[in-house]
C-alpha cells in the first residue's frame, strides 16, 4: 500500500507522522487489498482537520474529521474510513455469494424434456 501524508499550514512532526502511519496501517485489519492511502492534515486557527482518502478497486473511500486536536482528527477520519471499508467488504462478499449461488443453481438444475434434443 502506498501512503502519502501531507501537512498544510504547519510542519509535520515525526511523532504525528508516526501516529498517522499507524492509523493508516490499522486499516489493513478491515480490508487487505488497499491500493493507496492519502492523508491531508490542515490547521486553521483553532481547527484541526484531517482528510483520509483510501483507494480500493474501482472506488475511493473518504473520511474527514475536524476537532481541536490533530491526533483526534486523524483517529476520527480513520474510524469513518474503517466503517466504509467494512461496508465495502460486505458488498464484495454479497456479490461473491450471488455468483456462487448462480453457478451452483445452474449446475444442479434438473434436465427437462424441453432440454433434450433428438438427432
* Per-domain residue ranges of the chain: 2-108
**Architecture of the CATH domain 2-108:** 2-Layer Sandwich (3.30)
- Give percent helix, percent strand, percent coil of the chain, each to the nearest 5: 50, 30, 25
pLDDT tens readout for residues 9-67: 999 999 999 999 999 999 999 999 999 999 999 999 899 999 999 999 989 999 999 99
Percent of the chain whose pLDDT exceeds 90: 72
CA–CA separation, 51 vs 11, rounded Å?
A: 17
* pTM recorded for the entire structure: 0.80
Distances (CA, A) of 28 to 16, 34, 82, 104: 20, 7, 9, 32
31: cell is: 480490508
CA–CA separation, 81 vs 63, rounded Å?
A: 5
Amino acid at each position: 500500500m502506498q501512503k502519502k501524508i501531507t501537512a498544510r499550514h504547519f510542519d509535520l512532526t515525526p511523532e504525528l507522522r508516526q501516529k498517522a502511519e499507524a492509523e493508516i496501517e490499522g486499516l489493513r485489519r478491515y480490508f487487505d487489498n488497499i491500493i493507496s492511502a492519502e492523508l491531508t492534515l490542515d490547521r486553521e486557527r483553532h481547527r484541526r482537520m484531517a482528510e483520509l482518502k483510501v483507494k480500493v478497486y474501482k472506488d475511493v473511500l473518504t473520511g474527514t474529521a475536524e476537532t481541536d486536536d490533530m491526533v483526534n482528527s486523524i483517529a476520527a477520519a480513520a474510524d469513518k474510513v474503517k466503517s466504509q471499508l467494512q461496508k465495502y467488504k460486505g458488498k464484495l462478499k454479497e456479490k461473491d455469494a450471488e455468483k456462487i449461488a448462480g453457478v451452483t443453481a445452474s449446475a444442479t438444475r434438473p434436465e427437462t424434456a424441453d432440454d433434450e434434443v433428438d438427432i
